[in-house]
Chains A and B, each alone.
Chain A
Amino acid sequence: MKLIKDGMAKLSFVALLVTVTAAMFYAPTASAHGEKSQAAFMRMRTIHWYDLNWSKDTVPVNDTMTVTGKFHVFAGWPETVAKPEVSFLNIGIPGPVFIRAGSWVGGQLVPRSVSLELGETYEFKVLLKARRPGDWHVHSMMNVQDGGPIIGPGKWVTITGSMSEFKNPITTLTGQTIDLENWNIGNIYFWHAFWYAIGLAYIGYWVRKPVFVPRLIAMDAGKADTLITATDKKVGIGFALATMAIVAATMQSTNEQYPITTPLQAGLLRGMKPIEMPARTVAVKVDSATYRVPGRAMQMTLTITNNGDSSVRLGEFMTASVRFLDPAVHEDDTGYPDDLLAEEGLTVSDNSPIAPGQTRTVEVTASDAAWEVYRLADLIYDPDSRFAGLLFFTDEGGNRQMVTIDAPLIPSFI
């Protein structure tokens, strides 16, 4: 019996080793940023990114591209997420595959955090310079202090060339032009090697003599005082004095070499300029909204009032960066990511033009696999079962008007 047990134990151990070893050979590429895992209500009710444009699909190393667009800071911001009073316009890329050569909100450079107002819409632009070859998913992204990252839509961009050719020239205010990619690296290696050598020399002094056993025996025999000699002390003092002298001298020489230096810069940027949106002429009331789980479709009953002087049609519903379009009204020609675009995903019971002054109640259905793929259907498991999004109406002149909606959502399981 014992033999059998021992045999099973050995086999189990071997199986464990084989499993662990086999697992090491499976290393799939991480190809996105976990955006689908972010709670659906956060993507639907915080920052709405729209009119996004990635200027290029393929960029050579050292070349630049831009990500531009607008974001609406939703007025019905969820109570459970900190308000965007301290926010940072980031870019969702896998590390520094691009460098962020510039980022702007409302025309203002934003290398630091900014304060955003609820209900406002801002224009943004991020200038990226290609650095590391590969296929990268490039997202717009807003980090909110105590709220977390709020990631926007992502698009695949290819960088070609070789990273060894990457250059990042910068001219300082002291008139020096340097390459930030490798500036100061030799100096850093030198000083670390220099001090490491001194540290090793100090230890080397001690380990040239027997270290542990004879000393332990002497300590136990009460001869501790004999273990530190006058020479040891003199050598130690020499090391200490030399250390302090070198530190003082190198500090002095560094200050002479770099007489002008400034402290790190930090601080919150306030007063970001929002887009001055034209007065809304279309009013929308959500009478009811249900999410039909088996059909992967959201059905809304909307009462739309056109207070403008041109008839309008509903062309798009956008939530959590997924766009549902009625192709009879609006077609996308911006190269928006396919997986986020339901080109025929919007159905309106009566989408004939709504005349000025007219009020109409319509049934609107937004259906697409994206509800599942992007895990928006998980909204029904949220503690505050509400949805939000943007409706885009198009008037006779082709002008678009954005209207926000925010309402409770009732799931339907049959």
Chain B
Amino acid sequence: MSASQSAVRSRAEAVKVSRTFDWMIIFTLFFVILGGYHVHFMLVAGDWDFWSDWKDRRLWVTVLPIMAITFPAAVQAVLWWRYRIAFGATLCILGLLLGEWVNRYFNFWGWTYFPINFVFPSQLIPGAIVLDVVLLVSGSMQLTAVVGGLAFGLLFYPGNWPMMAPLHLPVEYNGMMMTLADLSGYHYVRTGMPEYIRMVEKGTLRTFGKDVAPVSAFFSGFVSIIVYFVWHFFGRWFGNTAFTTGS
């Protein structure tokens, strides 16, 4: 066989090779995203995602979607503009969640014995699916940023509430009221994390009474729009093949 001959000899073989290639790329892409995105998310969202007593109605709601929309935007850009594939955001979030669960289960629980109900990760899948579908239907980066980005921020809190609500039951403890999440943070000693490090319920959103979560979610959605644009362009730049031109 000369160098100019194809390695496959029939259409069936070509299809088989193409599918094998698909699975190899998806497998590799999934774990590369998992590694990079997980590190990114631990660094920028960190404690807000690690501990249930950080998951408040102001900062958790605001910070996490903003920090989480980054990789989905970039991967969406690569997969959409080069392949017209609309599952970039969902693939990223599934990778992130798998990485988070491996970390929480083997590290936080297996090594240091924090109960899972105190250290489980936030889930971002509803926002990711909507982000992908907006891109799929519109084919527009602008619409995906504006509608999808906003939805990514808005869906985060209600998507997590079924897991968080049972931890926000009030309890009277030695004459003070706290939530079960607060009590977990107090009971399960984090020697390296004094209470004052915890950034919860801080800010100036005091004119909305108790209904501050929707306001935070909208704010998070607006900032997610901007972050989406920035990271979408990162993705397009990262996915370009200009350096191979002429080879």
Contact = CB atoms under 8 A, between A and B. Distances in A.
Contact of A99 (B158, B169, B187, B192): B187
Contact of A250 (B121, B128, B162, B176): B162
Contacts of A253: 162
Contacts of A13: none
A221 interface: no
Nearest to B158: A251
B162 A96 contact: no
Nearest to B174: A109
Interface string B160-187: 0111011111111111111111111011
Interface stretch (B20-28, B36-44, B221-229): B20-28
B189 A90 contact: yes
Contacts of A218: 84
Interface in A5-64: 33
Interface string B68-111: 00000000000000111111001101100100010000000000
A239 B131 CA distance: 11
For chain B, give the interface size range: 35 or more
Given A173-B169, A192-B120, A236-B136, A263 B97 contact: no
B160 to A, nearest CB: 8
Contact of B180 (A90, A172, A206, A232): A172
A264 to B, nearest CB: 5
Give the most central of B139, B196, B198: most A CB within 10 Å.
B196
A172 B169 contact: yes
Contacts of B117: 180, 182-185, 188
A260 interface: yes
Contacts of A216: 82-83
B25 A212 contact: yes
Contact of B200 (A90, A224, A264): A264
Contacts of A268: 196
Given A100-B186, A203-B91, A239-B133, A173 B172 contact: yes
B26 A180 contact: no
Given A93-B189, A219-B83, A210 B15 contact: yes
Nearest to B55: A264
A112 to B, nearest CB: 5
Interface stretch (A194-202, A272-280, A299-307, A386-394): A194-202
A95 B201 contact: no
Interface in A281-316: none
Contacts of A181: 115
Contacts of A183: 117, 166-167, 180
A102 B53 CA distance: 17
Interface string B4-35: 00000000000100110110011000000000
Contact of B170 (A86, A172, A195, A251): A172
B177 A262 contact: yes
A173 B166 contact: no
Contacts of A76: none
25 contacts: A93-B189, A93-B191, A95-B189, A95-B191, A96-B187, A100-B186, A109-B175, A112-B195, A143-B194, A173-B172, A174-B170, A187-B163, A188-B116, A192-B97, A196-B125, A212-B18, A232-B86, A233-B136, A246-B126, A247-B158, A250-B158, A258-B169, A262-B169, A264-B168, A266-B202
Interface of B: 15, 18-19, 21-22, 25-26, 53, 55-57, 82-87, 90-91, 93-94, 97, 101, 112-117, 120-121, 123, 125-126, 128-130, 132-134, 136-137, 139, 155, 158-159, 161-163, 165-184, 186-192, 194-196, 198, 200-202, 210
